[in-house]
Structure 1
Amino acid sequence: MNKRRKFLKLGAAFTAGSFLPLQFCSSPKSESETAVVEEAVKESVKEKLESFGIQLYSVKGDMAENAQEAIKKIAGYGYNQIEGFDGGKGIFWGMKNTDFKAFTEDLGLDFVASHANVFENTEKLAAEAGEIGMKYLIAPYVGPQESMEDWKKMADRFNKVGEICKSNGLRFAYHNHGYTFEEQEGQMPQDFLLENTDPELVDFELDIYWAVTAGADPEKYFEKYKNRFRLCHVKDREKGAPAGEHNASTVLGTGTIDYSKVLRTAKDNGMDYFIVEQEKFSGVTPMEAAEKNAAYLKALEI
């Protein structure tokens, strides 16, 4: 945060204080009163996201048809970051890594991360990603494991991939689905992975939609595991969707997740990258949804 923004936020806080009820203006007599004052000040200094991106899988059909044209459209909607995926042509979509970087950079897009099969050709993938200044390689799916011993082996694999990424100047992260929030042998796999991977080597990308779908509270995870979640998928959940229903994503702002609140907590606890993702489309094309989602995040105050 730059000095001007800090000054503006500080000024807003003092201004907010001048409008607080008189009982909050004297020295608080209890922790609960202190919490009320802090919450009132926090509410008065909301801000907009300076940067946000999109997971290109959200427009996977357009990417398969013509990746470069799809990315050009994305750039026109107001995104300034992209997160890639391997659509069969590699994460650089048939281009040399440096050429893909130049192409996206010319459009004003920062290619910050990509989902990829991080367990194959790891050294080559990490070297190419690091060469062009990518921040993350992300494991998008590992599937449910049969036992907690298998989750321990997975945590060890994550650490090894993390070492390779670190040696190439970038980070490794794991993106969850709902299965890591389903208790197994008396433990929660998501918590186990957080607690059995090296914070120096492994970060996490919380797919907020999947956490909510599984019945988990994203804000509690951000607070309990501060600075472990550095990226998130911002994906809304349809109103009226049955509990546990997997295929229920919708345009941001039309669903049930209070992103103003959730993303504020995320940012306060170390979140760096806010990535739109949508997989179900009702009444809109994927590109139309991408445009609406960008407009939502541009206007959102957290």
Structure 2
Amino acid sequence: MTQFAYQLYSSRQFGPLSATLSMLAEIGYSAVEGYGALFTDGEALSDLEAGLDATGLAMPTGHFDLALIEADPSAVIAIAKRFAMTSVFAPFLAPEDRPNDADGWRGFGQKLAEIGKPITDSGLTFGWHNHAFEFHQQPTGEFPMALILEASDHVMLEFDMAWAHIAGQDPAAWLDRYGSRVAAAHIKDIAPTGQKMDEDGWADVGQGIMDWPGIYSKLKALGVPALVVEHDNPADDRRFASTSLAALRAFDAT
């Protein structure tokens, strides 16, 4: 059976971590994805480790702040190895740090490869997690996401397809072009315009406008190893986690 993971950021506003992990294991998840706030100090790491041990959940992937990866790659590697991760992803670039032209984005891709070299040298996969801004076309007609990926073969992609859709792009077309570079995928959905505004316009997987049956079939054919469910602001994380996992299992069965 395909392993489905849950991005723990989705439950950051709910109950203690131990309760979240127990809920996810009960629902049927086999893995989770960590994020920066869970890796801040020894106590946080111990709490996470205890929760994973108690539930049997794996954590094959994690999000780490780019500044930390650059400043202290050994710390990132140590955390990743502690939790038996296979992949480390940098998840965001602040607006004030974003390049303003194609050459800048190409340079950023090269910088990512340099920053990630200690990670890949340690045997881990290193990659970038996108938002919408990487799919805003430059005056040259080029896309930052393409420039990042084409700057180096050593930076993989955790493809958040809902953000690509929000930017006006067809996720399936990007999978056709760069599928071999996709090391993980974020599975999230978008509510119809004007709906779910209390959840920032996001929807449970299979309940929104994304063509998840079609996209999922491409992910499955590509053999993308990490499929991670995410919602940026669910009103009820149990509802979201349960509904989304049921949808993914249905897609996987077809």
Is TM-score (shorter-chain normalized) higher than 0.5? yes
State how 1:1-302 maps to structure 2 within 5 Å: 50-62=2-14, 65-87=15-37, 90=40, 94-96=44-46, 100-101=48-49, 103-120=51-68, 121-143=72-94, 144-186=98-140, 187-198=142-153, 201-241=154-194, 247-281=200-234, 284-300=235-251, 301-302=253-254
One-letter identity of the residue aligned with 1:250: A
Aligned length: 243
Q: Compare CA radii of gyration and give the structure with the larger one.
A: 1
Q: Distance in 1 between matches of 2:83 and 2:39?
A: 18
Q: Distance in 2 between matches of 1:254 and 1:135?
A: 31
Helix, strand or coil at the partner of 1:225: helix
Helix, strand or coil at the partner of 1:113: strand
Q: Distance in 1 between matches of 2:247 and 2:56?
A: 19
Percent of residue pairs bearing the same amino acid type: 24
Cα distance, 1:128 vs. partner? 2.6
- Cα offsets for 1:173-214 (capped at 9, x unmatched): 11101011101131110111111122xx22101101101111
Cα distance, 1:287 vs. partner? 2.6
Answer whether contact 2:205 2:247 (CA < 8 A) is retained: yes
Answer whether contact 2:17 2:48 (CA < 8 A) is retained: no
Divergent runs of 4+, >3 A: 99-103
- Cα offsets for 1:99-141 (capped at 9, x unmatched): 7446414413110111111332222111331244201111111
Q: Distance in 2 between matches of 1:260 and 1:195?
A: 29
Tell which deviates more after alignment, 100-109 or 119-128.
Answer: 100-109
One-letter identity of the residue aligned with 2:21: I
Answer whether contact 1:140 1:176 (CA < 8 A) is retained: yes
Q: Distance in 1 between matches of 2:242 and 2:114?
A: 38
Cα distance, 1:250 vs. partner? 0.5
TM-score, scaled to structure 1: 0.73
**What stretches of structure 1 of length at least 5 have no aligned partner?**
1-48
RMSD: 2.3
**What stretches of structure 2 of length at least 5 have no aligned partner?**
none
The structure carrying a bigger helix percent of its residues is 2
